[in-house]
């Protein structure tokens, strides 16, 4: 089983690249963003709670996110592996994910970070916000708040996974095909 954590700042191309990775490597794609959006659209209690955080550009609290991901993994017992997109975002979440996977006899195989300059990403998100309907992509201040959250809480994951020799940085600037090739090279050499 191969379990990949894909991370990067909002707008770095995680969703686009996740589609490729899940097909090529036959992985179950678990996107916290997609799961939250489904719950928000369907006005579930979790969706209402998640929306209050997301509308402010904040991250959804760990305990809500962790329980949701555990449930999704357990719904797919025959999976060849998982692609975690947008999770973990903090060291506490990474430790909880590791403990959960160990309880299932599994582990994280690698983490791949799509890296890109903030100014390029802000422009990408503002453009996406024109058509996505996502309020968190339409306000530059909220976007920059999300990057501040990322820098404070998620960036330390690099050190956490480097210590386990599982961290791989990939340049997230270029054509979709170029970025896809860079990701393939990393995963094929695991």
3-state secondary structure of 129: helix
Per the annotation, does 182 bind a ligand?
Answer: no
Q: Which of 9, 22, 51, 89 is catalytic?
A: 89
- Please list the residues that pair with 2 across neighbouring strands: 81
Per the annotation, does 159 bind a ligand?
Answer: no
Per the annotation, does 128 bind a ligand?
Answer: yes
Per the annotation, does 60 bind a ligand?
Answer: yes
Residue 51 token pair: 């929306």
- In the residue annotation, 14 being an active-site residue is answered as yes
- In the residue annotation, 146 being an active-site residue is answered as yes
Nearest to 168 by CA among 31, 35, 17, 43: 17
Nearest to 129 by CA among 148, 146, 112: 146
Q: Are 81 and 18 in contact (CB under 8 A)?
A: no
- In the residue annotation, 134 being an active-site residue is answered as yes
- In the residue annotation, 182 being an active-site residue is answered as no
- In the residue annotation, 89 being an active-site residue is answered as yes
Per the annotation, does 37 bind a ligand?
Answer: yes
Residue 45 token pair: 């209690």
Per the annotation, does 58 bind a ligand?
Answer: yes
Per the annotation, does 15 bind a ligand?
Answer: yes
Q: Are 178 and 190 in contact (CB under 8 A)?
A: no
Q: Which of 9, 14, 51, 142 is catalytic?
A: 14
Q: Measure the CA–CA gap between 7 and 77, rounded to whole angstroms.
A: 24
Q: Which of 9, 51, 146, 182 is catalytic?
A: 146
Per the annotation, does 136 bind a ligand?
Answer: no
Residues placed in the known binding site for AMP:
32, 37, 58-60, 86-89, 93, 134, 146
Residues placed in the known binding site for ATP:
11-16, 128, 174
Catalytic residues: 14, 89, 128, 134, 146
Residues placed in the known binding site:
11-16, 32, 37, 58-60, 86-89, 93, 128, 134, 146, 174
């Amino acid at each position: 089983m191969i379990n990949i954590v894909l991370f990067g700042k909002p707008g770095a191309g995680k969703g686009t690249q996740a589609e490729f990775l899940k097909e090529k490597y036959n992985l179950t794609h678990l996107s916290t963003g997609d799961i939250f959006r489904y719950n928000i659209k369907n006005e579930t209690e979790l969706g209402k709670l998640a929306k209050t955080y997301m509308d402010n550009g904040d991250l959804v609290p760990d305990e809500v996110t962790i329980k949701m991901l555990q449930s999704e993994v357990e719904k797919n017992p025959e999976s060849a592996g998982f692609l975690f997109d947008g999770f973990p975002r903090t060291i506490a979440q990474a430790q909880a994910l590791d403990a959960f996977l160990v309880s299932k006899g599994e582990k994280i195989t690698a983490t791949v970070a799509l890296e890109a300059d903030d100014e390029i990403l802000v422009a990408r998100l503002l453009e996406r916000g024109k058509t996505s309907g996502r309020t968190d992509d339409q306000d530059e201040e909220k976007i920059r708040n999300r990057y501040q959250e990322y820098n404070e809480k998620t960036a330390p994951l690099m050190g956490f996974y480097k210590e386990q020799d599982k961290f791989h940085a990939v340049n997230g600037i270029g054509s979709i095909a170029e970025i896809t090739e860079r990701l393939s090279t990393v995963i094929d050499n695991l």
